[in-house]
Chain A
Amino acid sequence: KNEVEQSPQNLTAQEGEFITINCSYSVGISALHWLQQHPGGGIVSLFMLSSGKKKHGRLIATINIQEKHSSLHITASHPRDSAVYICAVGSGGGADGLTFGKGTHLIIQP
C-alpha cells in the first residue's frame, strides 16, 4: 500500500507570501491529486497530475515521478486560501480509490 507523506502539517503565513506544500509517496502511481478541504467538510479537486507541471490561477502543482515527489505552490497568498490541502494518490487502473496524505492546515493572516 502506498504511503503518502505531506509537509508541513501546519503552516501559518502572512498575506502575499509564497506558499509551498510538499508531498512524497512510496510506490508508483497512476496519478497524484491535490485537494482542498474547507471547514465543514467539502473537498474540491485542485489538480490531477501524472507528469510535469500544471497552473491554475495562483496555484501551481509540480510532480517528479522519478523522485516520487510533488509540490503545491500558492503565489500571492490570500486569507481565502486558508484551508486544508491534501495530497492523494491513485495507484491502479479503472475505478481506483485514493490514498490520502494527512493534509496541510494552512492559515493566511491578513
Chain B
Amino acid sequence: DTEVTQTPKHLVMGMTNKKSLKCEQHMGHRAMYWYKQKAKKPPELMFVYSYEKLSINESVPSRFSPECPNSSLLNLHLHALQPEDSALYLCASSQVLAKNIQYFGAGTRLSVL
C-alpha cells in the first residue's frame, strides 16, 4: 500500500470558521509533510514532521496549526483564514533518509470565503 489519503477532498470555509485537514498513511513512514500549492504555481513547503516531532516550519502564519498525533496521522488545523489562503493543500510522507521518495496525497482543495 503506497497510498496517502487526504480528507476532505474539497473544503469551503468562512474566515471565522475552524476546520481541520487530515492526512493518513500506513507505509510505516516516519516523515510527513504539508505543502501549499496556489493555482498554476509549484507546491511550497509548509511543515515537516520527523518521528512525530515538528522539524521544519517554513515561517507559516499561526492561523495554520499542524499536529502529528501518531506516526500514521497528520492534521492541519485552520483558524481565521484569509481568502488568499485558498489553495490546494498537499500532504506527503517518506522514510527518514537523506534520499527519500515522497508519496503524495491527492490534496484538499480549500476555498476561503
Interface of A toward B, CB cutoff 8 Å = 30-31, 33, 35, 40-45, 48, 50, 86, 88, 90, 92-103
Contacts and interface: CB of A to CB of B under 8 A. Distances in A.
A95 B55 contact: yes
B31 to A, nearest CB: 3
What are the 4 A-B residue pairs with the smallest beta carbon separation, nearest first? A95-B31, A97-B45, A100-B42, A95-B50
Contacts of A86: 42-43
Contacts of A95: 30-31, 33, 48-50, 55-56, 94, 96, 100
Given A42-B106, A103-B42, A94 B56 contact: no
7 contacts: A31-B100, A41-B90, A41-B106, A45-B103, A50-B99, A93-B98, A96-B100
A36 B76 CA distance: 24
Given A100-B44, A102-B42, 4 more contacts: A31-B99, A42-B104, A94-B31, A95-B94
Contacts of B42: 86, 88, 100-103
B84 interface: no
B22 interface: no
Most buried by B among A42, A94, A97: A97
A41 B50 contact: no
Interface in B52-102: 55-56, 58, 88, 90, 92, 94, 96-102
A86 B37 CA distance: 13
Interface residues of B, number: 33
Contacts of A33: 101-102
A42 B50 contact: no
B96 A94 contact: yes
Contact of B45 (A30, A42, A98, A103): A98
A39 B42 CA distance: 13
Contact of B98 (A40, A44, A94, A103): A94
Given A92-B98, A102-B42, A97 B33 contact: yes
